[in-house]
Chains A and B, each alone.
Chain A
Amino acid sequence: MARYGFVVDLKRCYGCYSCQVACKAANNTPMGIDWAWCRPSETGKYPSATRQMIPLLCQQCANPPCMEVCPTGATTQDENGIVHVDPDKCMGCKYCIMACPYGARQTVSGWKTYFPDAEGDLDPFEAYAKKEWEKTWGYGVATKCDFCHDRRAEGKLPACVEACPAKARYFGDLDDPTSEVSVLIRRERGFQLNPELGTDPSCYYLPPR
C-alpha cells in the first residue's frame, strides 16, 4: 500500500489561483465552495517586504483530527492514507470542520446558482454540475478534497496538479523513497504546515526561497 502525498513547491508557485478553479471545475463544487484554496500572505517591512501565495487543500493527515472527532464513522482513512467522507453516513454535525486545522472541509446546504438574477432553468453546464454534485455528495454533509479519487481511478493526475501553470504541485507516494514527491521533500527541505498539531499531514511544502 502506498501513502499518497502531495508537494506544493512555494518557490514555483506564483499565486495564480489556477489550482483553485481547476478543482472547482473538476469536482463541480457549487457557488462559494472550494476544496483548493489559495491564501496570499505578506511579511516584512518596506522596502524588504515580500509576499507569497500559500495554496491549501486537504492535507490527508496521517492522524486526521477530523476522523477522530467524527461521531458517525462517516470519515474514514483508506489504505493509501487518503481521508474520505461517506455522504451516506455523515449527519452533518460539522464537528470535523471545527477540528480540521487546515480549513479543508465545507458543507453545502443547497445548490446556489452563479446566475441568481437570470430567469428560467439553469444553464446546461450548471445543470450538469448540479446533477453530478447531487450524485456524489448531496447536501448537508461534510465534503472535501480526496486527491481527486475519481480522476486517479481513470489513471489521471489530480486536476489541480495538471492545471498548475508553474508545475508547483506534485502528487505521488510518500512511502516510496524514490518517488518524485519523496525526493523533492528530502532534497528541498520539505515541511508540513503546523506540525505541532500532531496531524502529520501528507502534504508537504517546499520553501519559497
Chain B
Amino acid sequence: MSTTTTTNEPRVKEDVWIPTSCGGCYAQCGVLVHRVDGTVVGIEGNPDTPAGSGRICAKGTAQVMTLYDRHRINYPVKRTNPEKGVGVDPKWERISWEEAMDTIVEKLQGMDDRRGAYFQATTVQTSEIRFAVPAFMKAFGFKNYWVSGGGLWCGNGAHFMNGIMHAAWSIIPDWHHNNYTLYFGCSKGHGAGHAALQTAQWVADARARGMKAVVFDPFLSTQASKGHEWVPIRVGTDGAAALGMINVILNEVGEWDDKYLKLRTNAPYLIGPDEHYVRDPETNKPLVWDAEEERAKTFDDDSVKDFALLGTYEVNGVTCHPSFQLLKDHVKKNYPLDKVEKITSVPAETLRQIARDFVKHAQIGSTIVIDGKELPLRPSAAIFFRGSQGHVNSGWNCLEIDMLNHIVGAADVPGGAMGHGPPVCHGHPTTGKPETTPYACPDGLMEVKGWVYDHKPYPLREPKAPVRLDLQDMFPCSVYNAFTICTDRWEEYLEDFKIPYKPEVMINFGSNSVMTMANAEDVTENFLKKFKFVFSFNIYQNEFTEAVADIVLPDACFLERYTPCVTFPSTFSHPTGMDHWVWQIRQPVVEALFERRDFNEVMIDLAKRLGIQDTYYDAINNLIPIRYGGEMSERYKLKPGGEYTWTDIVDAVLRDRLGDEMGLDELKKTGLEKWPTKVEEMYWRWFQPARVPIYFEYFKEFGEKSRKIAKQFGHEHIMDWSFYKPLAEWFPCPSHEMEGTDFDLWAFSWRPSFHTQSSTQNNPWLDELSMQDPYVYLMQLNAETGRKKGLKDKDVVIVENSIGRKIEGPIRLVEGMHPEHIGIAGCHGHWARGTPLSKGKGQFYDDLIIVDEAHTDSLTQGTDACVKVKIYKKNGR
C-alpha cells in the first residue's frame, strides 16, 4: 500500500532557546525562551545582555502562563449591550476580523471632525507604542493621546523635572560608586522602577560594599527594610524635608560643590528685583558677577575668573544677587527645621543628621579616574519617584529632592545621581546611530535633543488657546490633565475654552484606564463614555473594555510579536555605567495563537483601508529619528506606494540604525547587538557645556501667559498661579489641610515587585504568590493605631474618603507603618468578568483618589494620589 501516512516516522524533536525581550513590565529584560515541539515551556534570563543581566523576575518567568492563559482574548468581539459603565456586562459577541475592521473604518470615516479621535495606551508595553499609533495619529490627523496612569501617577512631575535637570526620564544613583542614597518614595533597585533587574543587582552589590540607603517612606517598604535607616514620613511632604535639609547644608554646614554650581548651574546668574535674570543689554545674555574683577560679565564669558555665588551687587543701576544667595536666604527663612518637622513628622535632629551625612558622603572635591579620564567622585545621591511625585506639589517635590544632588555636585558624575536612561549616546560604532546628547540654549540652560512626549521639558511649551481635549496646550509644563477630562466639568471646560470639536472615537492600546487613573466611576462617566465609539487592542478583557469598548481586538502578546527595539530610547530599561549599550529586539517565539494579531500589522492594515498609507509611511520615516536619535538614510525610508508589512519596517529600522548587514534575519539569531559604553556617555555632565537651573527664572513668565489664556476664557482660577515662581517651594495637598476632622489617616499606594500595575493579577502563578505574601491582599496599618481604634489583625474594615467613596478589605496590623497612614498595595480588587482569577482580590486603591482642580499640581497638572480617609470595622464600629 502506498497510501500509508507518515505517522510512523519519528517526529523531529524540536528543542530551542529563542532570544527576545520580556514584556512583563516596562523594564524589557532580555530573555531566552525555551520552546519544545512548538510549545513554550520556559523563560529564562539571557546572560548575553546587560538589559536584565541574565536574570529574570517572578513576573517574567510567569509570562508563559499569560501566553497560554485560557482567559486571553482570542477572537475579535463586539459589544451587544448598548449600556456602558462600570460593572456593566458588555455581552460580547464574537465577530470576524473583516467585520471588525469594516466597522472601525466606517466609524473613523464617519467622524464629524477627525481631531476628535483619541489614542490611549498602556505604560506596560512602552516600546510598542512608539510607531504604529503615533504614525496613525499623524496620518489621520489628531493630537489627543495619553498613556494611562502614567503622567498623573508617575510622569507629570518626575519626568518633567528629570528632563530639565538630567536630560533624562528618571534618576538612579550610580550604584557602581555610590555610598549613600536618600530614597524619597521610590523602590528603585527593589523590584519596581526602571531597569528593575540590573538595578536589583547593582544595589545588592553596593549594599555588600557598604553603601548606605536612608529611606523616606511612610511604609517599611522593601527598600526601607533593605536600607540602613527607615525614616517614616507623612505622605506628600518630601519636598519640605528636602528643603529643610538644603537649609541645613547651605546655612549650617556651609559646604557645597562650588565648581559645579558655578559652571554647571545657574547659581551665579544675577537676579534683579523683578525676579528675572539681569541681562546684558547688548547680547541679552544673563549676567554673572566676576568676584575677582568685581564686575558683571555674561555667563559664558571665558574671562570670568571667579563666579560669585553669594553677595549683593549693583549692575546697570539695579541691585541684584546671584540666584544661589536667594536660594540660601529663602530656605533659611522659610524652611527652618522646627517648621519642617511639623510638616513632615520627621524629627528635626534626624533631618539635620541626614543632611550632614549626605554632604559628608558626597566627598566634595574628590576625584576618580575612569578610562583615563579624571572625573569628580560624588558618592551621594537623592532619588525619588512615584511616591514623592504623586501630590499637589508634584513638580516641586521632585526638584527639591534633586536639588540636593546639584548642591553637592552629584549629578551624572561617578557616585552621584544619574539621568536614566543615559541621555548621551554616540551611537553604534558603524552607523553613529542612535545619537543623542543634550545641549545648551542661548541662556546656557540644558535642553534635551529628543523626548518621549511631544513637548520637551525645557524650554517650556508656549501656552496657547487650547485645542486638545484635555486643554494640555494651554499649560506650559503639563503632560496630561486628568482634572479636566476626569471630572463632571469636562464638557463645561470644552465649551468654555471653545474647543471646536467633540470627542468621537477612541483607540485604546492595552491601557486599563478605568482602574489605573483614579476613581473608576468618574473616569468612565465623565470621560470614556463621552466617546461615541471605542475600539481597543487587548490581550485580556479588563475593566476598561467591559465598561466602554465597542470592539475589542485580540492582540498578540509580547511573546507573539516583533518590536524593532526595546532598549532605545534608553528611557526604561537601559543599563547605566561602564557596561554595554544594547540594542535589543523582540521576536515572536510562537506564531500568534488563535486569531490574535499583532496590533502593529492591524494599524498598517487600517491605514491602508483608510487610504492614508503614504502619509502613514511618511510619519514613520519622521518618527524614527525622533525615537532613536539620528537622521534616517534615504535608502531605508519607506517609499510612497510601497506595500510594507510590520516586519519590513522593523528590518528597515535595524539596517538603518545598526548597519546594512544587520537586518531582521541577522538580529533574530542573537536578539541583540551590543557595544561598549564610553565614559563621555555615561558620566557626561562635565563633557557638555550646559547648565541646569536651581532658580526657575522662566516659570513666572510662563505662568502669567497661561493665566492670561485661562482668564480670557473665564477660568482665571483654574490653577493656583503662585506655584509658578522661581524658587522651590512646598505646597500642601488638600489632605494636609484636614486636621481635626474624622479623616485621620492618610491612604497611599505602593507596588509589589511581582505585579505590574493592574496587568498581572490574573496570572495564576502570581496570584498564588499574592495569596502567600501578607503585603498584597491585606491593607497595612500601624499596630498601635489599630489597637487604639479597637481593631484586630485581619479585621475587615471600610476605608472611606472625604467624599464618601469607600473601599473595604482586611487589615494587617504591623510595626512597619507610620501611625497616621494606611498602605494599600498595587492596583488590585478587579471586577472584570474576563479575568475571573483576579476578581475581588485585594483592594482598588484608586477609587479613593479625588480628581479635581484642588487635587492637581498647578505647575505640572499631576494628580494628587494621596488622600485622607477614616476607617472603621465593617458591620458597625
Do A and B come into direct contact in the complex, CB within 8 Å?
A: yes
Q: Does B197 contact A (CB under 8 A)?
A: yes
* Cβ-based interface call for B793 (8 A): no
* A155, CB-defined interface residue at 8 Å: no
Given contacts A50-B220, A163-B56, contact A20 B204 (CB under 8 A): no
A45 touching B44 in the complex, CB below 8 Å, given contacts A16-B200, A126-B68:
no
Contact A166 B200 (CB under 8 A): yes
Kindly identify which residue among B64, B207, B773 contacts A40, using a CB–CB cutoff of 8 Å. Answer: B773
Known: A12-B208, A46-B784. A114 touches B65 (CB 8 A): yes
Are B45 and A125 closer than 8 Å at their CB atoms?
A: no
A51, CB-defined interface residue at 8 Å: yes
Q: Which residues 107-156 in A have Cβ within 8 Å of B in the complex?
A: 114-115, 117-118, 123-129
CA distance A125 to B763 in the complex (A): 14
Contacts of A31 in B (CB 8 A): 764, 768
Show the binding face of B for A, using Cβ within 8 Å.
36, 38-45, 54-58, 61-62, 64-65, 67-71, 190-191, 196-197, 200-201, 203-205, 207-208, 220, 222-223, 225-226, 230, 232, 753-754, 764-766, 768-769, 772-775, 782-784, 814-817, 819, 836
Q: How far is the CA of A127 from the CA of B38 in the complex (A)?
A: 13
* B815 and A46 contacting across the interface, CB-CB below 8 Å: yes
| Stretch from A21-29, A66-74, A189-197 at the B interface | A21-29
The distance in angstroms between the C-alpha atoms of A177 and B846, with both chains bound, is 54
B222 adjacent to A15 (CB under 8 Å): yes
Q: Are A128 and B36 in contact (CB under 8 A)?
A: yes
Bound together, the chains give a CA A122 to CA B45 distance in angstroms of: 26
Q: List 22 A-B contacts (CB under 8 A).
A: A11-B208, A14-B223, A16-B58, A17-B773, A21-B61, A22-B58, A25-B42, A25-B43, A25-B64, A32-B768, A38-B772, A42-B815, A50-B225, A51-B225, A115-B69, A124-B38, A125-B67, A128-B39, A162-B45, A163-B45, A163-B57, A166-B200
Give the residue of A14, A52, A162 whose beta carbon is less than 8 angstroms from that of B190: A14
Closest Cβ of chain A: how far from B17's Cβ, in Å? 12
When A52-B225, A123-B70, A128-B41 are in contact, do A46 and B782 touch as well, CB less than 8 Å?
yes
Q: How far is the CA of A126 from the CA of B58 in the complex (A)?
A: 18
Is the CB–CB distance between B62 and A51 below 8 Å? no
In the bound complex, residues from chain B placing their C-beta under 8 Å from that of A18 are 55-58, 61, 754
Q: Would A115 and B70 count as touching, CB distance under 8 A?
A: yes
Contact A114 B765, beta carbon cutoff 8 Å: yes
* A window 41-61: CB within 8 A of B: 42, 44-47, 49-52
Closest residue of B by beta carbon distance from A28: B41
> Which 9 interchain pairs have the tightest Cβ spacing?
A49-B815, A118-B70, A114-B764, A165-B200, A12-B204, A123-B68, A166-B204, A21-B58, A124-B39
Using known A-B contacts A25-B42, A166-B204, determine if residue A46 contacts B61 with beta carbons closer than 8 Å: no
Chain B residues whose C-beta falls within 8 Å of the C-beta of A114 in the assembled complex: 65, 764-765
Most chain B C-beta atoms within 10 Å of own C-beta, residue among A14, A32, A42, A126:
A14
Partner of B232, one of A9, A47, A52, A163: A47
A174 touches B (CB below 8 Å)? no
Are B64 and A14 in touch, CB under 8 angstroms?
Answer: no
Q: Judge whether A164 is part of the interface by a CB distance below 8 angstroms.
A: yes
Q: Does A7 contact B (CB under 8 A)?
A: no
Are the C-beta atoms of A16 and B57 separated by less than 8 Å? yes
Identify which of B39, B42, B203, B754 contacts A17 (C-beta below 8 A): B754
State the CA gap A40–B753 with chains docked (Å).
14
Contact B61 A163 (CB under 8 A): yes
CB of A89 within 8 Å of the partner chain? no
* Structural contact, A51 and B58, CB atoms closer than 8 A: no
Q: Of the candidates A17, A123, A129, which one forms a contact with B769 in the assembled complex, judged by CB atoms under 8 Å apart?
A: A17
Least CB distance from A10 to B in Å reads 10
Which residues on B sit within 8 Å (CB–CB) of A127? 39
How far in angstroms is the closest Cβ of chain A from B159? 24
Chain A nearest CB from B215 CB (Å) reads: 11
CA gap between A45 and B768 in the complex, in Å: 29
Q: A124 to B817, alpha carbons, bound, how many Å?
A: 44
A80 to chain B, nearest CB (A): 24
Among A32, A45, A159, A164: residue with most chain B CB under 10 A: A164
C-alpha gap A75/B451 in the complex (Å): 61
- Please give me the residue from chain A that is nearest to B196 by CB atom: A165
**Cβ contacts under 8 Å, B784 to chain A:** 46
A167, B204: Cβ atoms under 8 Å? yes
Contacts of A26 in B (CB 8 A): 42
Q: Give Cα distance in the complex from A50 to B764, angstroms.
A: 30
Cα–Cα, bound, A114→B766 (Å): 11
How many A-B pairs with Cβ below 8 Å? 150
- Inter-chain CA distance A27–B174, complex, in Å, is 37
Q: Is the CB of B222 within 8 A of A14?
A: yes
> Nearest Cβ in chain A — how far from B814, in angstroms?
7
Q: Which residue of B lies closest to A115 (CB)?
A: B70
Q: Are B816 and A46 in contact (CB under 8 A)?
A: yes
In the complex, the chain B residue whose C-beta lies closest to that of A48 is B230
CB <8 Å contact, B207 and A12: yes
A125 touches B55 (CB 8 A): no
The reply to whether B191 and A16 contact each other, CB–CB distance below 8 Å, is yes
Indicate if the CB atoms of A49 and B64 lie closer than 8 Å: no
Partner of B226, one of A14, A17, A117, A163: A14
**Closest chain B residue to A43, Cβ basis:** B815
Measured in the bound complex, the distance between the Cα atoms of B773 and A191 in whole Å is 25
A168 interfacial by beta-carbon distance below 8 Å: yes
User: B70 to A51, Cβ gap below 8 A?
Assistant: no
Q: Which of A25, A38, A49 contacts B61 (CB 8 A)?
A: A25
When distances are taken between beta carbons in the complex, the residues of chain A under 8 Å from B68 are 123-126
Which residue on A lies nearest to B814, using beta carbons?
Answer: A42
Q: A42-B815, A117-B836, A165-B197 are in contact. Are A21 and B222 (CB under 8 A)?
A: no
Quick check: B200 and A125 within 8 Å, CB to CB?
no
Given A14-B190, A21-B754, A167-B55, 19 more A-B residue pairs with CB atoms under 8 Å apart are A12-B204, A16-B191, A18-B55, A18-B57, A21-B62, A21-B766, A22-B61, A25-B42, A25-B62, A49-B220, A51-B225, A114-B765, A124-B38, A125-B41, A127-B39, A162-B54, A165-B196, A166-B201, A167-B201
Whether A22 contacts B769 by the Cβ 8 Å rule is: no
Of all chain B residues, the one with the shortest Cβ separation from A168 is B204
A125-B39, A128-B39, A162-B45 known; A14 vs B814 contact (CB < 8 Å): no
Chain B residues whose C-beta falls within 8 Å of the C-beta of A11 in the assembled complex: 204, 207-208
Q: Are B220 and A17 within 8 A (Cβ)?
A: no
B203 partner residues in chain A, CB cutoff 8 A: 166
For the complex formed, measure the closest distance between the CB of A131 and the CB atoms of chain B, giving whole angstroms. Answer: 10
Give the chain B neighbours of A16 by CB distance below 8 A. Answer: 57-58, 191, 200, 753-754
Residues of A within 8 A of B196 (CB): 165
Residues of A within 8 A of B200 (CB): 14, 16, 165-166
CB under 8 Å from chain B, chain A span 155-187: 159, 162-168
* A40 and B775 form a contact (CB under 8 A): yes
Picked from A21, A47, A118, the residue with its CB within 8 Å of the CB of B230 is A47
- Look across to chain A and name the residue whose beta carbon is closest to the beta carbon of B763: A114
Query: Is A17 a contact partner of B58 (Cβ separation < 8 A)?
Result: yes
B70 touches A165 (CB 8 A): no
Given contacts A124-B68, A166-B204, are A22 and B56 in contact (CB under 8 A)? yes
Q: Which residues in A have their C-beta under 8 angstroms from that of B205?
A: 167
B69: shortest Cβ distance to chain A, in Å?
8
Instruction: Write the nearest CB–CB distance from A173 to chain B, whole angstroms.
Output: 22
Complex contact B765–A163 (CB within 8 A) = no
Q: Which residue of B lies closest to A124 (CB)?
A: B39
B9 shortest CB reach to chain A, Å: 21
A125 and B815 contact, Cβ closer than 8 Å, known pairs A21-B58, A46-B784: no
Q: Which residues of A contact B39 (CB under 8 A)?
A: 124-125, 127-128
- What separation, in Å, do the CA atoms of A24 and B766 have in the docked complex? 12
* A14 lies within 8 A of B191 (CB): yes
- Given A22-B56, A163-B56, verify A46-B783 contact (CB < 8 Å): yes
CB distance from B206 to the nearest CB of A (A): 10
Complex Cα gap A168–B190 (Å)? 13
Given contacts A118-B70, A162-B54, contact A20 B769 (CB under 8 A): yes
How far apart are A36's CB and chain B's nearest CB, in angstroms? 11
A43-B698 Cα distance, complex, nearest whole Å: 50
